[in-house]
Amino acid sequence: MPFGRFAHSERGLDWFAKVAKNEFNNYFLACDGFQKTGLNDVEEFYKNVKRKDRDSFGGYVRTLHNAKKEAVLTAYLHFCEKVSVESAKIFNDNLSLHLGNSKNSSSALQPIFHYFFRVNGVRYILAGTDKNKPFAVYMNPSTEWSKAYEFVGITAEPLKSGQPEVLLKFTFKDKNNRIDFDLDLKIEIRWSHGKFCGNPEGKIYKKWLYSELPWSEIIPIV
């Protein structure tokens, strides 16, 4: 995301193995990975067990969590913390590199802000549902937006949760009262088909409503 590659998609390395290799493997072993699969580590498990055959072990891991096995929960906690901390660090490092290579840091940040907050070059109507409630708002073009607000920056922070999570904190300045304010996004990094059943994915959740954005103009719904 720091490089503006929002729509880019490729199948790369397993993110968990990339950022928390030791903690990932310790979690595999704590879940009786060797005893249940006969494989020494999680890397061998992924290499030798096809995706369609991993559900059995994933189901067993689920029973361990349901039984609140202490060694499993402790290993999982360390694993989640490592993934969250390293993911936030990588984002911040990449963002610093991106801004350092840009002649204008403000314009370099704009694609990220525009992508998530639906601001573009024209005034338009944004409508849909937010938290299962219908909404419709006018969104002003970026030229109008920048007269009243300034995009200050983004910071990634690790979150402690029941899974790896990162908070993206977007900071803005209201030019009229010179007050800074934050609007956050939460990224959940998780398996899409259960634990140990495939590469993890990142899902982004906004922690605000479009109708609550200070620059949106609400259209009454009748």
The reply to whether 5 falls in a domain is no
Q: What is the pLDDT of residue 10?
A: 62
Buried b (16+ CB within 10 A) or exposed e, 143-155: eebeeebebeebb
The reply to whether 4 falls in a domain is no
pLDDT tens digits along 180-205: 999 999 999 999 888 998 889 999 99
Return all residues near 63 (Cβ < 8 A) that are at least 6 apart: none
pLDDT tens digits along 87-139: 999 999 988 888 887 666 667 778 888 888 999 899 999 999 999 999 999 99
The reply to whether 7 falls in a domain is no
* % the chain with pLDDT above 90: 73
- The structural domain count of the chain equals 1
The reply to whether 143 falls in a domain is yes
The sign of the torsion formed by the CA atoms of 81, 83, 86, 89 equals negative
Q: What is the pLDDT of residue 156?
A: 95
Looking at this protein, which amino acid is placed at residue 105?
Answer: S
The reply to whether 3 falls in a domain is no
The reply to whether 168 falls in a domain is yes
Q: What is the pLDDT of residue 109?
A: 79
The reply to whether 10 falls in a domain is no
Q: How many residues does the chain have?
A: 222
The reply to whether 194 falls in a domain is yes
pLDDT tens digits along 30-59: 999 999 999 999 999 999 998 888 999 999
Question: Structure pTM?
Answer: 0.89
Task: Find the domain containing 183 and state its range.
Answer: 15-218
